Structure 1
Amino acid sequence: MHELPDPALDEVASFFQALAEPNRLRLLNLLRNGEQRVGDLAEQTGMTTANVSRHLSLLQQRGLVRRESRGTSAYYCVADAGIYQLCDLVCGTVARKSEAAAQERLGLFRR
Protein backbone atom coordinates (compact mmCIF):
# COMPACT_ATOMS: atom_id res chain seq x y z
CA MET A 1 0.00 0.00 0.00
CA HIS A 2 3.03 2.22 0.34
CA GLU A 3 2.81 5.18 -2.00
CA LEU A 4 -0.42 4.09 -3.68
CA PRO A 5 -2.48 7.02 -4.95
CA ASP A 6 -5.92 7.58 -3.42
CA PRO A 7 -7.83 6.10 -6.40
CA ALA A 8 -5.82 2.88 -6.07
CA LEU A 9 -6.51 2.77 -2.31
CA ASP A 10 -10.21 3.15 -3.09
CA GLU A 11 -9.95 0.18 -5.43
CA VAL A 12 -8.17 -1.90 -2.78
CA ALA A 13 -10.87 -1.04 -0.23
CA SER A 14 -13.55 -2.05 -2.74
CA PHE A 15 -11.75 -5.35 -3.31
CA PHE A 16 -11.68 -6.13 0.41
CA GLN A 17 -15.29 -5.00 0.79
CA ALA A 18 -16.27 -7.71 -1.69
CA LEU A 19 -14.63 -10.28 0.59
CA ALA A 20 -16.34 -8.94 3.71
CA GLU A 21 -19.49 -11.03 3.25
CA PRO A 22 -19.56 -14.68 4.37
CA ASN A 23 -21.74 -15.90 1.49
CA ARG A 24 -19.32 -14.48 -1.07
CA LEU A 25 -16.46 -16.26 0.70
CA ARG A 26 -18.49 -19.49 0.58
CA LEU A 27 -19.00 -19.05 -3.15
CA LEU A 28 -15.31 -18.39 -3.75
CA ASN A 29 -14.45 -21.47 -1.71
CA LEU A 30 -16.80 -23.61 -3.81
CA LEU A 31 -15.19 -22.27 -6.97
CA ARG A 32 -11.78 -23.59 -5.84
CA ASN A 33 -12.65 -26.85 -7.58
CA GLY A 34 -13.37 -25.18 -10.92
CA GLU A 35 -16.20 -23.48 -12.71
CA GLN A 36 -19.77 -24.04 -11.63
CA ARG A 37 -23.28 -23.07 -12.66
CA VAL A 38 -25.28 -20.61 -10.61
CA GLY A 39 -27.92 -23.25 -9.87
CA ASP A 40 -25.32 -25.71 -8.59
CA LEU A 41 -23.82 -23.05 -6.33
CA ALA A 42 -27.28 -22.19 -5.02
CA GLU A 43 -27.98 -25.83 -4.25
CA GLN A 44 -24.67 -26.28 -2.41
CA THR A 45 -25.10 -23.14 -0.31
CA GLY A 46 -28.84 -23.25 0.33
CA MET A 47 -29.19 -19.74 -1.11
CA THR A 48 -31.62 -18.81 -3.85
CA THR A 49 -30.29 -18.57 -7.39
CA ALA A 50 -31.16 -14.85 -7.35
CA ASN A 51 -29.07 -14.32 -4.22
CA VAL A 52 -26.15 -16.32 -5.64
CA SER A 53 -26.34 -14.34 -8.87
CA ARG A 54 -26.31 -11.06 -6.96
CA HIS A 55 -23.20 -12.05 -4.98
CA LEU A 56 -21.45 -13.38 -8.08
CA SER A 57 -22.26 -10.19 -9.96
CA LEU A 58 -20.54 -8.13 -7.28
CA LEU A 59 -17.54 -10.48 -7.28
CA GLN A 60 -17.39 -10.15 -11.06
CA GLN A 61 -17.50 -6.34 -10.85
CA ARG A 62 -14.52 -6.48 -8.48
CA GLY A 63 -12.62 -8.77 -10.85
CA LEU A 64 -12.67 -11.80 -8.56
CA VAL A 65 -14.72 -14.11 -10.79
CA ARG A 66 -15.40 -14.48 -14.51
CA ARG A 67 -18.74 -15.34 -16.06
CA GLU A 68 -19.35 -17.35 -19.19
CA SER A 69 -22.76 -17.97 -20.73
CA ARG A 70 -23.43 -21.34 -22.30
CA GLY A 71 -26.91 -21.86 -23.60
CA THR A 72 -29.29 -20.93 -20.81
CA SER A 73 -26.71 -21.38 -18.05
CA ALA A 74 -24.15 -19.01 -16.60
CA TYR A 75 -20.89 -20.54 -15.45
CA TYR A 76 -18.55 -18.82 -13.01
CA CYS A 77 -14.91 -19.39 -12.24
CA VAL A 78 -12.27 -17.60 -10.22
CA ALA A 79 -10.53 -14.89 -12.23
CA ASP A 80 -7.23 -15.09 -10.33
CA ALA A 81 -6.37 -18.07 -8.14
CA GLY A 82 -4.11 -15.75 -6.11
CA ILE A 83 -7.20 -14.80 -4.14
CA TYR A 84 -6.89 -18.14 -2.37
CA GLN A 85 -3.43 -17.26 -1.08
CA LEU A 86 -4.88 -14.14 0.50
CA CYS A 87 -7.84 -16.04 1.95
CA ASP A 88 -5.60 -18.83 3.27
CA LEU A 89 -3.33 -16.26 4.91
CA VAL A 90 -6.26 -14.56 6.64
CA CYS A 91 -7.85 -17.90 7.60
CA GLY A 92 -4.55 -19.06 9.10
CA THR A 93 -4.31 -15.88 11.16
CA VAL A 94 -7.89 -16.25 12.38
CA ALA A 95 -7.33 -19.93 13.23
CA ARG A 96 -4.19 -19.14 15.23
CA LYS A 97 -5.97 -16.40 17.18
CA SER A 98 -8.91 -18.68 17.84
CA GLU A 99 -6.62 -21.47 19.04
CA ALA A 100 -4.71 -19.09 21.31
CA ALA A 101 -7.98 -17.79 22.80
CA ALA A 102 -9.19 -21.36 23.36
CA GLN A 103 -5.91 -22.28 25.07
CA GLU A 104 -6.16 -19.18 27.24
CA ARG A 105 -9.73 -20.05 28.27
CA LEU A 106 -8.66 -23.61 29.01
CA GLY A 107 -5.84 -22.32 31.19
CA LEU A 108 -8.24 -20.10 33.13
CA PHE A 109 -10.58 -23.01 33.80
CA ARG A 110 -7.78 -25.24 35.10
CA ARG A 111 -6.72 -22.83 37.82
Structure 2
Amino acid sequence: MAKLNDQTLEHVAQRFKILGEPMRLRLLACLQQGERCVQDLVSETGAGQANVSKHLSLMISHGILGRRKEGLHVYYFIADDSVYDLCDLVCESIAEKAEGVQRLFSQAGG
Protein backbone atom coordinates (compact mmCIF):
# COMPACT_ATOMS: atom_id res chain seq x y z
CA MET A 1 0.00 0.00 0.00
CA ALA A 2 2.95 2.33 0.44
CA LYS A 3 3.12 2.89 -3.33
CA LEU A 4 -0.51 4.00 -3.65
CA ASN A 5 -1.18 7.66 -4.34
CA ASP A 6 -3.63 9.73 -2.31
CA GLN A 7 -6.45 9.37 -4.84
CA THR A 8 -6.15 5.58 -4.86
CA LEU A 9 -6.06 5.49 -1.07
CA GLU A 10 -9.30 7.51 -1.05
CA HIS A 11 -10.92 4.87 -3.26
CA VAL A 12 -9.71 2.08 -1.00
CA ALA A 13 -11.01 3.89 2.08
CA GLN A 14 -14.37 4.42 0.36
CA ARG A 15 -14.66 0.69 -0.37
CA PHE A 16 -14.00 -0.14 3.29
CA LYS A 17 -16.52 2.48 4.34
CA ILE A 18 -19.18 0.93 2.12
CA LEU A 19 -18.47 -2.54 3.49
CA GLY A 20 -18.44 -1.21 7.06
CA GLU A 21 -22.24 -1.09 7.28
CA PRO A 22 -23.90 -4.26 8.71
CA MET A 23 -27.03 -3.94 6.55
CA ARG A 24 -24.91 -3.85 3.40
CA LEU A 25 -23.11 -6.98 4.55
CA ARG A 26 -26.50 -8.65 5.13
CA LEU A 27 -27.54 -7.73 1.61
CA LEU A 28 -24.28 -9.08 0.19
CA ALA A 29 -24.83 -12.33 2.11
CA CYS A 30 -28.29 -12.66 0.56
CA LEU A 31 -26.96 -11.93 -2.91
CA GLN A 32 -24.21 -14.50 -2.51
CA GLN A 33 -26.93 -17.12 -3.07
CA GLY A 34 -27.88 -15.49 -6.39
CA GLU A 35 -29.61 -12.44 -7.77
CA ARG A 36 -32.63 -11.06 -5.94
CA CYS A 37 -35.25 -8.37 -6.40
CA VAL A 38 -35.84 -5.71 -3.75
CA GLN A 39 -38.92 -7.50 -2.41
CA ASP A 40 -36.88 -10.67 -1.83
CA LEU A 41 -34.15 -8.71 -0.04
CA VAL A 42 -36.70 -6.89 2.12
CA SER A 43 -38.20 -10.23 3.11
CA GLU A 44 -34.84 -11.89 3.79
CA THR A 45 -33.36 -9.04 5.83
CA GLY A 46 -36.47 -7.74 7.57
CA ALA A 47 -35.47 -4.19 6.65
CA GLY A 48 -37.74 -1.61 5.07
CA GLN A 49 -37.89 -1.21 1.31
CA ALA A 50 -36.55 2.36 1.38
CA ASN A 51 -33.58 1.28 3.51
CA VAL A 52 -32.77 -1.69 1.28
CA SER A 53 -33.09 0.42 -1.87
CA LYS A 54 -30.78 3.09 -0.44
CA HIS A 55 -28.04 0.55 0.33
CA LEU A 56 -28.43 -1.19 -3.03
CA SER A 57 -28.16 2.11 -4.87
CA LEU A 58 -24.96 3.02 -3.03
CA MET A 59 -23.35 -0.34 -3.77
CA ILE A 60 -24.34 -0.07 -7.44
CA SER A 61 -22.83 3.39 -7.71
CA HIS A 62 -19.52 2.01 -6.40
CA GLY A 63 -19.45 -1.01 -8.71
CA ILE A 64 -20.05 -3.65 -6.06
CA LEU A 65 -23.50 -4.59 -7.38
CA GLY A 66 -25.14 -4.65 -10.76
CA ARG A 67 -28.79 -4.80 -11.75
CA ARG A 68 -30.90 -6.02 -14.59
CA LYS A 69 -34.53 -5.36 -15.40
CA GLU A 70 -36.94 -8.13 -16.28
CA GLY A 71 -40.51 -7.00 -16.85
CA LEU A 72 -41.60 -5.01 -13.82
CA HIS A 73 -38.84 -6.34 -11.58
CA VAL A 74 -35.25 -5.22 -11.14
CA TYR A 75 -32.83 -7.93 -10.07
CA TYR A 76 -29.62 -7.18 -8.20
CA PHE A 77 -26.44 -9.24 -8.40
CA ILE A 78 -22.82 -9.12 -7.28
CA ALA A 79 -20.73 -7.28 -9.88
CA ASP A 80 -17.45 -7.47 -7.94
CA ASP A 81 -16.84 -10.89 -6.37
CA SER A 82 -13.73 -9.59 -4.60
CA VAL A 83 -15.96 -8.30 -1.79
CA TYR A 84 -16.42 -11.92 -0.70
CA ASP A 85 -12.66 -12.51 -0.67
CA LEU A 86 -12.23 -9.48 1.57
CA CYS A 87 -15.08 -10.53 3.88
CA ASP A 88 -13.67 -14.07 4.09
CA LEU A 89 -10.26 -12.71 5.11
CA VAL A 90 -11.77 -10.56 7.83
CA CYS A 91 -13.98 -13.40 9.13
CA GLU A 92 -11.02 -15.80 9.22
CA SER A 93 -8.93 -13.26 11.13
CA ILE A 94 -11.72 -12.72 13.68
CA ALA A 95 -12.18 -16.48 14.11
CA GLU A 96 -8.43 -16.98 14.66
CA LYS A 97 -8.33 -14.23 17.28
CA ALA A 98 -11.38 -15.67 19.03
CA GLU A 99 -9.78 -19.12 19.11
CA GLY A 100 -6.63 -17.61 20.63
CA VAL A 101 -8.63 -15.86 23.34
CA GLN A 102 -10.55 -19.08 24.03
CA ARG A 103 -7.28 -20.99 24.42
CA LEU A 104 -6.03 -18.38 26.91
CA PHE A 105 -9.18 -18.71 28.99
CA SER A 106 -8.98 -22.51 28.86
CA GLN A 107 -5.34 -22.46 30.02
CA ALA A 108 -6.08 -19.98 32.81
CA GLY A 109 -8.96 -22.04 34.13
CA GLY A 110 -7.23 -25.40 33.78
2:25 alignment partner AA: L
**Which runs of structure 1 show a deviation greater than 4 angstroms over 4 or more consecutive aligned residues?**
none
**What is the CA-CA distance between 1:60 and the residue it aligns to?**
1.0
- The corresponding residue for 2:75 is 75
* Alpha-carbon distance in 1 for matches of 2:106, 2:87: 28
* Alpha-carbon distance in 2 for matches of 1:105, 1:53: 43
Identity of aligned residues (%): 44
- The corresponding residue for 1:85 is 85
- CA deviations over 1:27-84 (Å, ceiling 9, x no partner): 1111112111111011011111111111111111221101222222221100021221
* Alignment of structure 1 residues 1-111 onto 2, 5 Å: 1-108=1-108, 110-111=109-110
How many residue pairs get aligned? The number is 110
- Point out where structure 2 has 5 or more consecutive residues left out of the alignment: none
2:38 alignment partner AA: V
1:86 alignment partner AA: L
* Alpha-carbon distance in 2 for matches of 1:45, 1:98: 26
- Point out where structure 1 has 5 or more consecutive residues left out of the alignment: none
TM-score (structure 1 length as normaliser): 0.90
* Alpha-carbon distance in 2 for matches of 1:85, 1:46: 26
**What is the CA-CA distance between 1:88 and the residue it aligns to?**
0.6
2:48 alignment partner AA: T
